[in-house]
Amino acid sequence: MTIYLATENAGKIREMEAILSAALPGVTIKSMADLDTAARAQYSAEETGTTYAENALIKARALSQLVDGVVIADDSGFEVESLGGEPGVYSARYAENDGARCAKIISSLSGKPAEQRRAKFIACIAILTNGKNPVFVFGRKHGFVAEAPRGQSGFGYDPIFCPKAGGKTWGEMPAEEKNADSHRRRALDLVIQYLAGVVKGNTQYIP
């Protein structure tokens, strides 16, 4: 069985490959980087959805047109409670790069206490088998926005997210520590349950 990851985000690919490979031995994990040049050129997935599920499905369907088998696509977001849930589904477009996105949130929360710095990561993963019958799973991880970016690990908003108030940011944690209980790990655990059923010939959805 081969699982294709519908993402070009190197950070997501590293995390998803590490988690899936450990849990599903014998299953081959491929990403966009494993496609030939012609196939990569045909891949087009404009994220025009207004929800994580819509965007995940857009990406999954785009890759399903190019490959056979199981495709999974992740759409994730960072939501800050006191900012009305921003940046949310627009997390990747909140500013021009990761550093600017983190700085924008830090500036917006300047001087605010921990109770007003609550935030969460959300991951929605769409699963398509031969381009049909989409299944969606979600993972969430609650925490707090740090007062300043810390650490060089991870990607995206990791340097400003603390699972515990005043604790280490994901940017300060090794990948193994973050991946043990991240939003993406929680969603992928559900993907693994579902795909384990597929491998065994049981295609019933496992919530």
The token pair at 30 is 């491929």
- Count helices and strands (H / E) in the chain: 6, 7
Structure-token pair, residue 64: 């399903």
Identify each DSSP E strand in the chain by its residue range.
Answer: 2-5, 28-31, 70-80, 87-88, 118-129, 132-145, 161-162
Which of these is catalytic: 36, 68, 75, 98?
A: 75
Side chain identity, residue 150: R
Token pair for residue 200? Answer: 């065994």
141 beta partners: 121
Q: By C-alpha distance, which of 136, 139, 128 is closest to 184?
A: 139
Q: Is 75 a catalytic residue?
A: yes
- Which sequence positions are flagged as catalytic? 75
